Amino acid sequence: MKSRWYKDAVFYQIYPRSFCDSNGDGIGDIRGIISKLDYLKDLGVNAVWLSPVYKSPNDDNGYDISDYRDINPEFGTLDDWKEMIEGMHARGIRLVMDLVVNHTSDEHEWFKQSRSSKDNPYRDYYIWRKGRGKDGKRPPNNWTSRFTGRAWDYDEATGEWYLHLFSKKQPDLNWDNPKVRQEVIDICNYWFELGVDGFRCDVITYVSKKEGLPNGKFNIAMCGDEHFVIGPHFHEYMNEVNEKSWSKYDTMIVGECIGCNMDRAPSVIAEDRNELDSAITFELMDVDMKWSFFPVKFNLKKFKAVQSGWQNLPENCWNTLYYENHDQPRSITRYGNGRGIYRKQLGKMLAVSYFMLRGTPYVYQGQEIGMTNISLKQEEYIDIMATRIFTLIGKFAPFLLPVARWAMSKRARDHARTPMQWEDKTGCGFTTGTPWMKVNPNCSDINVKSSLNDKNSILNFYKQLIEFRKGNEIIRDGSYKEYFPNNSKVFCYERALGDKRYIVICNFKEKKVPLNVDEINAKGAKLRVCNWPGQDKELGDAILLRPYEAVVYEIK
Ligand code: GLC
Ligand code: CA
């Protein structure tokens, strides 16, 4: 049944709250998305990953679902959604929905039932335990929530604790209960019948927890991982859902695989495993970030080693390529000087650096116009991660608040969630009302409208690259080889298929870098892609790269 269409896909991720507001309430919505489908078609992408639009009390902006089969009224109705997917399909764009089934909202009917009494039929849908200590007032183990603090909450009604690896309004489902797995299968099939082309499975690597829920090794920020990352029954559970749902349709299932490093990846994504088709992984993000919120210095050599490691996975594994999403800061600020005079070259260089790799590239809304991080005051952050960090530090270690502010200025998830910058006007063309989140003031320079009119814009460069990838077998199937791994300024690699080779050279520095390219053995290769004018049309023994320059040469 599987055509593996995703190998020819370029994805665009939509974070619906921040994409486009059609009715002036300040919140992006489905009719807003519908109004931008021609924009997506024109950009050239052929698949969309849509962050959650299901019913949700929005403790974590939709990643806490209270009804898996309906649309959150602030985003529209199921009919709007149907019109949206038809509009996508009519334009040759597939739709991958977010599937958040490690946990539900605490306002989901299952949890309401579950917490009501110990013998409720839904009790075992979640993970309930007695507390430790004589009075049971200490949590059952030392696991911590990914949003800081303990991963357990005490529930008065039944005198037990429930597990939540994220916020306390996101109780973890008990996947060891076969009924829970059947619910997941039914939900997937429900959406497949409505035409969905696949799922991005949220924190799917957390679903199987070690029996007995033992204490984790001490870690100041996150405890317990070793007991639930790709836990004991993970593979079995993936096989089951795959067999009973995912494999029955022509789908793509990409898992958000936190903690899945390149050694373990084949056990999850190799084609013959019948689990996931691909994985969103974090080793690249971890190069300059600890515990998913604390910045550490960027090191290009490490970055390249991670890229190459993943590129060298066995043939039957398929990569997910990304620099940005709704949880990550803006790449143009993260990996270079996104406010400098070479910002356009930087945005384009970053695009080349990952678009030429093996795997499916994802572009996060706004990345294609070079949207940057925003500068916020402590009280202006609204995402649960940043606000929890500020509250916790304010309470227990207020002297560390300046450090927290510095960390959030670089790594908060809020940076990715400012409204999409469509035009230079109040509300940035995102809304006619008051936006739910602050608009980045640089919207006057950085917006879609002006990018469309500027033939040298990052946006127009993305269009060219997307076009360049289409049907390109060298990029899709070619082998990968890295050059100069010890060079700390330049990322250089080759993709080869049959007698054709592409040589990709990206200068990550904001200054000129000369490079001797003798050893690549590609003299006379023809220039195919470049983000600066006037580069040598044929590759010689050496090349002079200008600030953030990226080139692709082709040779037979
Ligand atoms: C994933 C999502 C993130 C969310 C978390 C809990 O990491 O990408 O936005 O907060 O899961 O669902
Ligand atoms: Ca709206």
Residue numbers of the chain with a pLDDT score lower than 50: none
What pLDDT is attached to residue 556?
Answer: 92
Q: Is domain 104-172 annotated with CATH 3.90.400.10?
A: yes
What pLDDT is attached to residue 300?
Answer: 98
What pLDDT is attached to residue 292?
Answer: 86
CATH fold group of domain 5-103+178-467: TIM Barrel (3.20.20)
Answer whether 436 contacts ligand 1 (Cβ < 6 A): no
Instruction: Domain ranges for the chain, please list them.
Output: 5-103+178-467, 104-172, 479-555
Please write the tens of the pLDDT for every residue from 431-448.
999 999 999 999 999 999
Residue 500 CA, ligand 1 centroid: distance in Å: 41
Q: Whole-angstrom distance between the N-terminal and C-terminal Cα of the chain?
A: 36
Global confidence as pTM: 0.98
Residue pair 431/418 in contact (Cβ under 8 Å)? The answer is no
What pLDDT is attached to residue 362?
Answer: 98
In the residue annotation, 236 being an active-site residue is answered as no
Angle CA(310)–CA(311)–CA(312) in degrees, nearest 5? Answer: 90
Token output for 541: 């023994």
| Helices and strands (H and E) in the chain: how many | 16, 22
Name the class of domain 479-555: mainly beta
Answer whether 19 contacts ligand 1 (Cβ < 6 A): no
Residue 75 CA, ligand 2 centroid: distance in Å: 6
Please write the tens of the pLDDT for every residue from 469-482.
999 999 999 999 99
Strands 67-71 vs 479-483: parallel, antiparallel or unpaired: unpaired
- 3/49 Cα distance (integer angstroms): 18
Ligand nearest to the CA of 62: 1
The residue nearest atom 9 of ligand 1, judged by CA position, is 327
